[in-house]
Amino acid sequence: MKLLTSTPLGKLQVRNRIVMAPMTRNRADAAGVVGELTERYYVQRATAGLIITEATNISADAQGYPWTPGLWSAEQVEAWKKVTGAVHAAGGTIVAQLWHTGRVGHSDVRGGRVPVAPSAIGIQGQQHFTPTGPKNYEVPRALTNAEVRATIDDYEHAARNAKAAGFDGVELHGAFGYLPHQFLVDSANQRTDEYGGSIENRARFVLEVMDRLVGVWGEGRVGIRLSPTLAYNGMADSDPLATFSYLLEKLNALPLAYLHLMRATPDAERFPSWPQDTVATFGPLHRGNLIVNSGYDRESAEAVVSGGEAHAVSFGAPFVSNPDLVRRFEVGAPLAAADRATFYQGGATGYVDYPALEGDAPKVAKGYWLVQATVVDPAQFGKYTAVAGPLLASYGGRVLARGDVAEVVEGTVPRRPYFVEFPSYQAARACFHSAGYQEAIALRAGAATFDIVVVEGTAP
């Protein structure tokens, strides 16, 4: 399958053309800091050719949804470092999607502050997700010219923080009705300054942000996501063909890693004059690497890549419930269905508890922890194993013969080696170096003395 072949996306050398699309999961804390669950979530999916993170707020004022991550504070950067480090240890490549929600928010999420937008035009006919339930959208406050420029500065600051956090690049979220998209379409942008009016002016915000991102990251490490034919969140442009053709022409002058194009056209009946085939219309206008998204399966993705219409395909919900999606595509295995009720509820359920194919493993060297234990305090050591056991399993680990955790805890074999097998050497290293395991080590203190060594190959 061509989907399984490696390809360069700018400076990003991806090992296959199956991309994990950005998906909001609402698992950060109130300060926008991700935790150990997020680390596990991405490591489980590190076999993707490229991981594009969930949309990540560039500033406190960018936030529109509760429990979403950020990249504006030092604490957020340090938390993301653990994620990127673990993904890299597992052999993955990961970029941060930079996000400003604009008017797609609510004051209940923003500490009482009304959302901001290019113009004071609210979203009609939809409601917004808040901690206290769905709420009608408010009329946003129009950004001043100075605030527009300050927001562009925020994008640059977040891009620098993404580099400090160890990401491999960044993607601008310019789709789905968020702030960059709001500047582009004339139904949401009725400004009369240099950021509104003509197509050239409405595209200025996106182009200035992209120029800043490339200035931070250099050639081949910045992408952009666009949805020219998606009217969700009130994105009804009078002439999307003209608007996005101009934007793509200007973007071609930048040394981008890729264009991430959403082909969704659910509003075709409402807008019969709009292009009906997004990829066929806008894809050829981009002279670089193209990732396509929305509604692809194994067969249609292979067809679009083999036919030369795109360099890679991104998948959203299939990656939620199939952390081993690449392997399933490789062997033609059926996909597990996602439980959409758990998408945004927080916690481990529906996040890191979807199993990989039973009895299957990638065709790479297996990894092991070799453990030699002398238990001093069986009760405390039992607490450690209660935490470490599920963590091992979340990385695909399982305890083999030659003594197991139960025997060691009970003290029947006070000093005996046992092995924890992982599907790959990278998975073993990622688990061993994870923040979650470092926390588990604290429970081990004083309970046992033992050595852990990651080895490659077959257990003796």
Which element (helix H / strand E) includes 314?
Answer: strand 312-315
User: If DSSP codes are grouped into helix, strand and coil, which group holds residue 315?
Assistant: strand
Pairing of strands 141-142, 116-117: parallel
Which element (helix H / strand E) includes 428?
Answer: helix 425-432
**CA-based nearest residue to 423, from 364, 341, 352:** 364
Instruction: Assess whether 178 carries a catalytic annotation.
Output: yes
Catalytic site residue from 178, 195, 354, 418: 178
* Amino acid (one-letter) located at 45: R
Rounded-to-integer distance, Cα 422 and Cα 428, Å: 6
User: If DSSP codes are grouped into helix, strand and coil, which group holds residue 241?
Assistant: helix
The strand pairing partners of 223, in sequence order, are 171, 258
Burial class (CB in 10 A: 0-12, 13-18, 19+), 139: middle
Cβ pair 275, 281 in contact under 8 A = yes
CA 112, 117, 122, 126 dihedral sign is negative
Rounded-to-integer distance, Cα 99 and Cα 262, Å: 16
User: If DSSP codes are grouped into helix, strand and coil, which group holds residue 198?
Assistant: coil
> Angle 258-207-167 (CA atoms, 0-180°, nearest 5)?
45
> Angle 22-433-220 (CA atoms, 0-180°, nearest 5)?
40
Rounded-to-integer distance, Cα 107 and Cα 36, Å: 29
- Catalytic (active-site) positions: 178
